[in-house]
Structure 1
Amino acid sequence: MKAQPEPLPDHLRALVGQGVDAIDTPALVVDLDAANRNLQRAVEFATKHRLRLRPHAKMHKSPAVARLELQAGAVGVCVQTVAEAEAMGAGGINDILITNEILAVNKLRRVAALAHQLSVRGGQLGIVVDSAEGVERLAQAMQLTKAVVDVYIEIDVGQGRCGVSPDEKVVTLARAVVARSSLRFAGLHAYHGGAQHLRTVGERHAAIVAAAAKVEDVRRLLEAADMPVPLVTGAGTGTFAHEAASGVWNEVQPGSFLFMDADYLRNDRDPAQPQFEPALFVKAQVISVSAGHAVCDAGLKAHAIDSGVPEVHALPGQPPLRFANGGDEHGVLHPLDESGPLSNLPALGDTVWLIPGHCDPTVNLHSHLVVVRDGLAGGRVESVVPVMARGVW
């Protein structure tokens, strides 16, 4: 497992208790009050609909944030990589599900070691599979320990990515799992990532209705083979109200709901789902002003643009601005109303707050989250949280 993080550098430790003005730029800032409101809304929704809430920690990559989610009522966390799982385990998280296929022998040995360590302290590790080879390699690795790992068969419910087709192949795979004493058939993993950013509520609803039909078909096949399905897990921030309404899923895995990002905020509002607000921001400073535009110090090294450039979050009294990509170190700011006066541009030294286009890879670019209480305008730094699960291994 990964070692505990290095102590905070002096300049970061000194931030705690200071006002937001003391935060150097560019910095990744969490509005704790907004994040807590988002978390409470998600927990209330899951409780009302009798769903297990297992947030996806690949979004925040921080055991400290995962602990907040567990304290609020989450049953555990999801991760996407072995390194993320190890970081969560090292940070005290005991219920972890790896929602990705792992085939590399060395990585599977790490999976077995983590399963053992969690088992010793009363925890549980889960992992998804979609091939007989994956089952066999996982079973071989688990011979290194007496622990038992929960195995979910991933089915392709419309994403067209990983997952076995929803037919008799699932029965064959489930039989391979139950034949191994170190593997426990825990259920089905049914996540439709492609539906998360369909813009209209109708499009998202139709996608999950189709996904639910596939899950039901698979459940009937497994029950006919005397292998009842203990749990169906999946869903994301864009669709989990539809998974809840279907009655098919027992557990949901939204991740981005906690922080939100500009791309999710572009989705049409679903009245059946809690309303989440942006809680993750890149703090930037205006370093240059020219006729018609200004430049801030947050470029591609500070935020991901795979889902579009950031939105500029205007605080009261600040002019509405449009962000344009300026390269590695720079962002170009234009007045939202291009025909307006130049006074609509910020001044040299002003702070601008950016809502990243995609929160997950943006967090991966930063070593720390600066957590602020009482808002961005006049709040104070509550803590500085290491991003322990950065990277891809």
Structure 2
Amino acid sequence: MNSPTYDTPCIMIDLDKVERNIRHMQQIADDHGIGLRPHAKTHKMPEVARMQIAAGAIGVTVAKLGEAEVLAKAGISDILIAYPVIGRDKIKRLAALLTMTHITAAVESIEGVEAVAEAGRLAEVPVDVLIEIDSGFGRVGLNPGEDVIRLAGVIASHPWLRLKGLLTFAGQSYDVPDPEAIRRTAEREVGTSARMAEQLREAGYPVTVVSVGSTPSSSFAAAIPGANELRPGTYVFGDLMQVKLGAHELERCALTVRATVISRPAPDRAVIDAGTKVFSSDGEDSPLGTGRGYVPGRPGITLEWLTEEHGMLKLAPEEQGLAIGDILDFIPVHCCAVVNLTDRVAVTRDGQFESFWNVSARGKVR
């Protein structure tokens, strides 16, 4: 690295790979004539959101109002809040956001509808809304059927709301064993949403948006008629979880944790300066058998276990020459959780340091 202020542990972002990942997903969307609205909870950085939009994304998705506030202040002009807005303070914040940028809000309850409508009234700005339905994940969202049609009627009664369509998330795609099972999950996700959209149209609600897609399911969902918007997030960086699912390749993983060996207490054991406060404890171990991370090209290094500040390595015989002070780069299990644990990332191009980017929406969980 050629930065005088560089230190470990640090999150590294390879911009060449990021750009390739963005182009790859955008091409999938373009090839099937479907809008791409990436989920910014993965990267939490306006710089990456701008790259995605410049490549052809129609806007971005966020989970929380705090993420939307950061991106709106950075000039992102079309944001979907794919999370219920509940609570007086959040109504006021949503009203402020409506005066800054175009917001679409997901709703799945009368209480949520009333909250968004009140924000629209306060801002004197009509709010586009999507009804969230459950396509099998069992998290939030209405079961398809009459409850959805009734909620559409409530939305239609509010002068500050405009029903645009439906949203769903097939999170169960993370729990299936192979790409064929992911494809079947995507078929259910799109099919359930398309049928519900048609029922709404038959009931007199001219919905135009059917929004679906996680990173594992998006490449399949894009090719299935019935949806017109995709919301993948993790694809922009990739991680071992996506590699396990067959949704990403190791060679395209753009985010790594750079750490320093700080101890060599035994020939087959080393310790690095990054633990759960850097890697997080989310997700299952590496599908490559290397524990909580993978050092590219070095399968003899296993990130066996973590405490808050330490990462314990188990070393195969060919790796026992590792010394205190050596630097290692690890592909983590779950990149979204890693990004949210750091204030800034080091971005590189052609293997050379370019700059530090602040993770501006880091910790924005409200």
For Structure 1 versus Structure 2, the TM-score category normalised by the shorter chain is: over 0.9
CA distance in 1, matches of 2:276, 2:186: 34
1 CA distance for matches of 2:353 and 2:124?
45
Using the TM superposition, give the Cα deviation of residue 22 of structure 1 relative to its aligned residue in structure 2, in angstroms.
6.3
- 2:353 maps to 381
Whole-angstrom CA distance in 2 between matches of 1:206 and 1:275 = 24
CA deviation string 1:281-317 (max 9, x = no partner): 11001111122111111111111121135322235xx
Code of the residue aligned with 2:308 in structure 1: it is D
User: 1: CA distance between counterparts of 2:156 and 2:194?
Assistant: 21
Find the counterpart in structure 2 of residue 184 from structure 1: 162
2:288 match: none
Residue 275 and residue 239 in structure 1: after superposition, are their counterparts in 2 closer, same or farther (change >3 A)? farther
For residue 372 of structure 1, the aligned residue among 344, 348, 357 is 348
Given the superposition, is the C-alpha separation of residues 345 and 326 from structure 1 closer, same or farther in structure 2, using an over 3 Å criterion? farther
1:321 alignment partner AA = I
Match of 1:68 among 51, 60, 71: 51
Q: Which residue of 1 aligns with 2:208?
A: 230
What percent identity do the matched residue pairs reach?
35
Residue in structure 1 matching 2:254, options 279, 286, 298: 279
Q: Deviation per CA, 1:300-343, whole angstroms, max 9, x where unpaired?
A: 1111121135322235xx563111223111111123xx4x35x5
Runs of at least 5 residues in structure 2 that lack an aligned partner in the other structure = 286-291
Contact residue 155 and residue 190 of structure 1 kept, 8 A: yes
1:298 aligns with 2:285: no
- Note the C-alpha offset of 1:95: 0.4
CA distance in 1, matches of 2:192, 2:321: 52
2:311 equivalent among 313, 319, 331? 331
1:208 positional shift: 2.0
1:195-233, Cα deviation, whole Å (9 max, x unpaired): 135230121122222223322331232121111220101
1:312 to 294, 309, 317: 294
Q: Is the 8 A contact 1:128 1:152 kept in 2?
A: yes
Corresponding position: 1:83 with 2:83: no
- Cα–Cα, structure 1 residues 149 and 34, in superposed 2: closer, same or farther, change >3 Å? same
CA contact (8 A) 2:129 2:164 kept: yes
* Per-residue Cα deviation, 1:45-104 (whole angstroms, up to 9, x for no partner): 111111111110001111111111111111110000010110110111110000011111
Query: C-alpha distance in 1, partners of 2:57/2:134?
Result: 25
Name the count of aligned residue pairs: 358
8 Å CA contact 2:257, 2:329 repeated in 1: yes
Relative to the length of structure 1, the TM-score reads 0.87
What is the CA distance between 1:345 and its match in structure 2? Answer: 4.6
Asked whether the equivalents of residues 116 and 127 of structure 2 are also in contact (C-alpha less than 8 Å), the reply is: no
Q: Deviations over 1:115-150 (max 9, x none)?
A: 1121xxxxx101100011211122123211121211
How is 1:27-176 mapped onto 2 (pairs within 5 angstroms)?
27-118=10-101, 124-176=102-154
Offset at residue 21 of structure 1 (A): 8.9
Could you tell me how far apart the structure 1 residues matched to 2:43 and 2:4 are?
24
Range with bigger deviation, 215-224 or 182-191: 215-224
Question: Cα–Cα, structure 1 residues 345 and 300, in superposed 2: closer, same or farther, change >3 Å?
Answer: farther
Distance 2:105 2:87 in 1: 14
Cα offset, 1:276, TM superposition: 7.4
Note if contact 1:368-1:386 (Cα within 8 Å) is conserved in structure 2.
Answer: yes
Residues 296, 331 of structure 2: 8 Å contact kept: no
Corresponding residue for residue 181 of structure 2: 203
| C-alpha distance 86-133 of structure 1, shift in aligned 2 (>3 A) | same
1:253 aligns with 2:231: yes
CA root-mean-square deviation: 1.9
Aligned pair in 2 of structure 1 residues 351, 130: CA closer, same or farther (>3 Å)? same
Task: Determine the C-alpha separation between the residues in 1 that align with 2:230 and 2:151.
Answer: 23
Structure 1 residues 167, 345: closer, same or farther in 2, change over 3 A? farther
SS in 2 for 1:245: coil
Structure 1 runs of 4+ aligned residues shifted over 6 Å read: none
